Structure formats: C-alpha cells, structure tokens
Amino acid sequence: MMGLPLFPIFIVDFFGSALMIILSITASFHARRLVRLNPKNVLWTYLFWLCMALVAFALSRSIGHMLRFIFILLDFPHVWETLSPYSGGLNTLVFSSVAVLTFYYYNVQGVIQRVRDDANSLARANRQLEKVHASYAT
C-alpha cells in the first residue's frame, strides 16, 4: 500500500490540489468582479477567461490527483488504472488551453496599445479641430 516516508508527500499533494481549486476559484471571482466593474476593458475580459481556464485546469488536475489517492486508499487501484488515461488526457487538453491563453496575452496587450494610440490620435485631432473652429469663430 503506502509507506510511511511517502505519506507527507501524499498529504501535501492532496491538500495542495484542494488549495489549487480554492485559489483558482477565488481568482476567477475577483476577475469576474473586475469585468462587471468595467465590461469594456479588454484586459479584464482576458484575465477572466484565463482564470476560467485555470479553474478548469485546477479541477481536472486536482480531482485526478485526489481520486487517485482515494481509490488507492480504498484499495481500488484497478479503478484508478482504468480512469488514469482519461484523466491525463483531460489534463493535457486543459493545460494546452491555459498555454494558448497565456501566449495570447501578447496579442491582447497589442490591441490595448492600439486602442490607446487611436484614442490619443482622436484627442489630438479633436484639439486641432477646436483650435481651427475657435480661429474661425473670432
């Protein structure tokens, strides 16, 4: 079954998995609150979707790790051997989605910068038009 020297590692992995679920859900609630405060903010929307992907990853990874310990402790290792490939496949898919969203940050940052540049350009054009209008009005 389980040797005593490995028991602390199993405990840390089990409770670390539970903590990962709690922290990712907490982060998603905070990100959702930011989106509600400013729904047009691209960065907050990106952060929300990244947090949701992290929640999915935390759930798939943590449940897989927790189920493994539970099945082994309950002396059902054959059940875990059956579920293990599916759990690993799901973890790989979700981890890939987190990676894709992480790499996408550069594009989101570029969009934000372009929007800022366009806003500055419009503000500059507005000031110039106001000056021209003021000179014709007098």
The chain-wide mean pLDDT, for the chain, equals 88
**Would the pTM count as exceeding 0.75?**
no
Per DSSP, the residues of 50-68 read HHHHHHHHHHHHHHHHHHH
Query: How much is the pLDDT for 70?
Result: 86
Query: How much is the pLDDT for 51?
Result: 95
CA angle 53, 56, 62 (to 5 degrees): 135
pLDDT tens-digit map of 6-22: 788 888 988 998 999 99
Query: How much is the pLDDT for 138?
Result: 67
Query: How much is the pLDDT for 104?
Result: 84
Query: How much is the pLDDT for 38?
Result: 93
Q: Are 61 and 74 in contact (CB under 8 A)?
A: no
Q: Are 65 and 17 in contact (CB under 8 A)?
A: yes
Query: How much is the pLDDT for 30?
Result: 97
Confidence of residue 111 (pLDDT cuts 50, 70, 90): confident
Q: Are 69 and 14 in contact (CB under 8 A)?
A: yes
Say whether pLDDT at 107 is over 70: yes
Confidence of residue 54 (pLDDT cuts 50, 70, 90): very high
Q: Are 53 and 101 in contact (CB under 8 A)?
A: yes
Mean pLDDT of 53-79: 88
When computed from its CA atoms, the radius of gyration of the chain, rounded to whole angstroms, is 25
Tokens encoding 133? 């209008």
